[in-house]
Amino acid sequence: METKKLIVTDLDGTALQNWETLDPNTKEALIAAKEAGHIVVIATGRPARASLHFYKELGLDTPIINFNGAYIHHPEDETFEDIVAQIPTEVVLTLFDSELKDYIVNAFCEYKDHLYVLHQGDTIRDWFHIETCTSVKYGPFKETLDEHPNGFLLEAKEGYPEKVMSFLRENYGDIVTCRKWDGDNVNIIEVFKSNTNKATAIEKLAKYFNIEQKDIIAFGDGDNDIEMLKYAGVGVAMDNAIDKLKAVANTTTKSNKESGVAHYIHEYILTPKK
Contact indicator for 268, 44 with CB cutoff of 8 Å: no
Size (the chain), residues = 274
CA angle 148, 150, 156 (to 5 degrees): 100
DSSP 3-state assignment of 227?
helix
Contacts of residue 184, defined as CB under 8 A and 6 or more positions apart, other chains included, come to none
Query: Does the annotation count 97 as an active-site position?
Result: no
Set 10, 23, 113, 225: catalytic member:
10
**Which residues sit opposite 35 in a β-bridge?**
none
Closest CA to 26 of 222, 221, 227, 249: 221
What is the dihedral sign for C-alpha 129, 135, 141, 145?
A: negative
Active site (catalytic) residues? 10
